[in-house]
A and B are shown apart, each in its own frame.
Chain A
Amino acid sequence: AQRVTQPEKLLSVFKGAPVELKCNYSYSGSPELFWYVQYSRQRLQLLLRHISRESIKGFTADLNKGETSFHLKKPFAQEEDSAMYYCALKGTDKLIFGTGTRLQVFP
């Protein structure tokens, strides 16, 4: 089965603290994974994809095939990072999303 699991509905941290949003996936084959972000009252937008191995807004994510994980990390959270974060897997024909994690960064 193709599935994405984000175990945390809400993650609250203080500004400057490290952040790790967890994502685990189930997929037979070579997965293509993404992180999407949705700021308040805005549309979903792509944050990063594992293929690019890039760092966007200080966020990075590494694909760990052994642990079937694609956790999103940032060493020092900022207040403007507060948003809903979705991990997504490119399945056979569609994007499969996790249920999302709301990140709250307090001043």
Chain B
Amino acid sequence: DSGVTQTPKHLITATGQRVTLRCSPRSGDLSVYWYQQSLDQGLQFLIQYYNGEERAKGNILERFSAQQFPDLHSELNLSSLELGDSALYFCASSLRAVNTEAFFGQGTRLTVV
């Protein structure tokens, strides 16, 4: 157990809908990363937060947004969902923004039908 918790584990929703994925980092970790893992694209970095502030942005669509709350948990919001958004969404946390090991959650499997 890495200490990173993601909920829900599975999510099935229809196209056009909006969902929220939740991540609780390891105790004491200030940095949270979101990644999307799909069969053909591998692991794609979406966004990183550090102590509540956005730190780095990757290939995140405008339909997606995220935030990190004062208690350091993070939420990834996906809206106007398309079939191609079906993927495994991983959250990872690390102590600092850089130069530390990242610990991954088990992921949320999103299926858009």
**Size of the chain B interface, CB-CB below 8 angstroms:** 25
Give CA–CA (A86, B99) in the complex, Å: 18
B105 CB-CB contact with A under 8 Å? yes
Q: Which residue of A lies closest to B50 (CB)?
A: A93
Interface members, chain A 67-102 (any B CB < 8 Å):
86, 90, 92-100
One of B33, B45, B99, B104 near A43 (C-beta < 8 A)? B104
Interface members, chain A 1-60 (any B CB < 8 Å):
6, 32, 34, 36, 42-46, 49
Interface members, chain B 16-69 (any A CB < 8 Å):
33, 35, 41-45, 48, 55-56, 58
Give CA–CA (A45, B1) in the complex, Å: 10
By a beta-carbon cutoff of 8 Å, the part of chain A in contact with chain B is 6, 32, 34, 36, 42-46, 49, 86, 90, 92-100
